[in-house]
Structure 1
């Protein structure tokens, strides 16, 4: 899996802008607003990728807070470090490693963010347990990811978009295999209701899944 993201790291942000018509930036800002990071807070951004979301979080917690970005892809973190170097005033640091085996103690964070990562873990339940482990009492977390629409028309529209737009565009930059995987991963990903159930089983007192973009995306809001 890490090799997949190593391959896509250099073009990841440009493709996101192109394929979502820039809307992924709006969805990430919605995720940040739902997390409600405050100055001085310590936030862990799991599966941080190239750190576009980590930068948004760091802007909210500065000057005395901290954002720790975690990702298993060395190439993605190289892009993240370059982005952070352009903003040296932001309180950012990065850890390369497996999200399911982090060297962080229990209660290390006031908040946890994960965007487009839970779906790619070997176990969504295990990922939610890691988030629970990281949070301090009364902590909050938000998970942003693709959603499996409950309405057949929306589900068909999502499949058509992936097959007729996403994969052909990815083919043009020699990333067809990496983006063909996207449809398969969504098809086997837990639904919003299933995510809520898994989160409660992991120990969260509040677990609410909010459909975004007509149900094509989803925000899972978690609180202890």
Structure 2
């Protein structure tokens, strides 16, 4: 199954995931994730969810935002990524209000209207059913709550799009090759070709039931954050 292949992929890249992402983005991915947390509307004391949490970057930022009175659940289907996330959280002091959970973005193990805010970083592009994933986010959000979804974006500017393709092929894949992960990172370009544009994501979000949906292109249009609110 496609989902099984993706799970294997993310388990394999887990040991170098943070290091490689930081190097390839020149550290900018942390800024983009902070933007997503801000746009999620999470505040002190909130109960939040980070879907496809990977090694825990967004979940840890959310935990800082909600503080000790709040709580954050980081969910992912890759156990190797969750293990690294748990190690990172354990090294923090005071211990952040976090729970790590293995689970499926297409069948979130939570009741309806449960969370005050949700984030999702580089996960929507990898689920096998994007409309289904958006419907699950809608279901578990409380009324008037927001979700912020960060991912790659296909720039509308042809020159920037060409630059993005060159960067993925000439920089990202060779860098991953040094870690024996050529195949794992070569998947980004074709996955991006299949990924809905910002305008298409807005349409899908409205179809999922969200009252408002706005897509913010960032990093010259090579990244984007979809911000949605439940009515």
Return the TM-score normalized by structure 2: 0.95
Which residue does the alignment assign to 2:3? Answer: none
After TM superposition, the structure 1 = structure 2 runs for residues 1-224 of structure 1, keeping only pairs within 5 Å, are 1-87=6-92, 88-224=94-230
C-alpha distance in structure 2 between counterparts of 1:215 and 1:181, whole Å: 20
For residues 169 and 148 of structure 1, the distance between their equivalents in structure 2, rounded to whole angstroms, comes to 22
Cα distance in structure 2, aligned partners of 1:170 and 1:221: 31
Whether contact under 8 Å (1:99, 1:127) holds in the other structure is yes
Deviation at 1:89, TM superposition (A): 2.4
Task: Give the Cα–Cα distance (whole angstroms) in 1 for the partners of residues 88 and 149 of structure 2.
Answer: 22
| Equivalent residues, number | 224
Instruction: Tell me by how many angstroms 1:37 deviates.
Output: 1.1
Distance in 1, matches of 2:214 and 2:61, equals: 23
CA contact (8 A) 2:106 2:129 kept: no
Of residues 111-120 and 84-93 in structure 1, the stretch that sits farther from structure 2 once superposed is: 84-93
Q: Which runs of 5+ in 2 are unaligned?
A: 1-5
Determine helix, strand or coil for the equivalent of 1:203.
coil
Q: Could you report, residue by residue, the CA deviation over 1:77-104 in whole angstroms, capped at 9, with x for unpaired residues? A: 0001101111252100011011112211
Task: Return the alpha-carbon distance in structure 2 between the equivalents of residues 60 and 102 of structure 1.
Answer: 23
Task: Name the CA distance, whole Å, in 2 between partners of 1:44 and 1:35.
Answer: 10
Q: Cα deviation per residue 1:103-143 (whole Å; 9 max; x = unaligned)? A: 11111101110000000000111111111011001111000
Which of structure 1's runs of 4+ aligned residues deviate more than 4 A?
Answer: none
2:32, 2:68 → 1: CA distance? 25
Structure 1, gaps ≥5 residues long: none
Q: Contact 1:112 / 1:134 at 8 angstroms: preserved in 2?
A: no
CA distance in 1, matches of 2:161, 2:87: 37
Structure-2 separation of matches of 1:103 and 1:200: 23
Task: Deviation per CA, 1:53-82: give whole Å up to 9, x if none.
Answer: 111100111121110000000000000110
C-alpha RMSD over aligned residues: 0.8
Distance 2:43 2:131 in 1: 28
- Matched residue SS, 1:105: coil
Answer yes or no: is the 8 Å Cα contact 1:114–1:142 preserved in 2: yes
